[in-house]
Amino acid sequence: MGSPALKRFPPPAPRPTLRAGARGRLRMESSEGGRTTPANPRPGPAPSAAEPRELRDGEKHLVLLRDGRTLIGFLRSIDQFANLVLHQTVERIHVGKKYGDIPRGIFVVRGENVVLLGEIDLEKESDTPLQQVSIEEILEEQRVEQQTKLEAEKLKVQALKDRGLSIPRADTLDEY
């Protein structure tokens, strides 16, 4: 009896290897026929969700920041991280139906603090139902409003405490 025929398989494909490339980055390579080629060639720039627009002079923008402040100014520069440079900037404070503008000049905003960025229609800007007041008056109204909120919060905490409940203070929630 003859020996059973051995099935021959093709040689295994070359396995990719990790090698240190330029600037210490690891890259995957495979060697075929003595040549080393990148297994995944370097891609071009990543596509963005929206193409950047040309900034035109005279475009006023409103920026809402993470801490609740509102800035209004002329957008001079923006980058891929949403870092902004605003020119002739004012900080607008709203209290009820009144508002006041505090001049701030040139303002640089780090992108992680931007919540909203929008262009202001200059024709509709003057059609606001809000009344503009002086800086001193709006700051006083803001102080009174904040004091009222603080007193209401203290009453709420006291009412919960009387019922045997407690909520952690907001300033202790961020501790690690």
C-beta separation of 115 from 86 below 8 A: no
pLDDT (tens digit per residue) in 36-93: 555 555 555 544 444 455 656 568 999 999 999 999 999 999 899 989 999 999 999 9
What does pLDDT average to over the chain?
78
C-beta separation of 76 from 63 below 8 A: no
Cα-flanking dihedrals φ and ψ of residue 17, to 5°? -125, 155
CA dist., res. 90 & res. 45, Å (int): 36
Cα-flanking dihedrals φ and ψ of residue 63, to 5°? -125, 125
User: pTM for the whole thing?
Assistant: 0.59
**pLDDT band of 165, cuts 50, 70, 90:** confident
Dihedral of the alpha carbons of 111, 109, 145, 137, in degrees to the nearest 10? -160
pLDDT (tens digit per residue) in 109-120: 999 999 999 998
Beta partners for 62? 72, 118
CA dist., res. 91 & res. 77, Å (int): 18
Region of poorest pLDDT, from 33-47, 100-114, 161-175:
33-47
CA dist., res. 50 & res. 31, Å (int): 39
Res. 108: pLDDT tops 70: yes
Residue % of the chain over a pLDDT of 70: 64
Which SS3 state, helix, strand or coil, does residue 110 take? Answer: coil
Res. 144: pLDDT tops 60: yes
Which two structure tokens, joined as six digits, stand for 90? 């004012």
**pLDDT band of 127, cuts 50, 70, 90:** confident
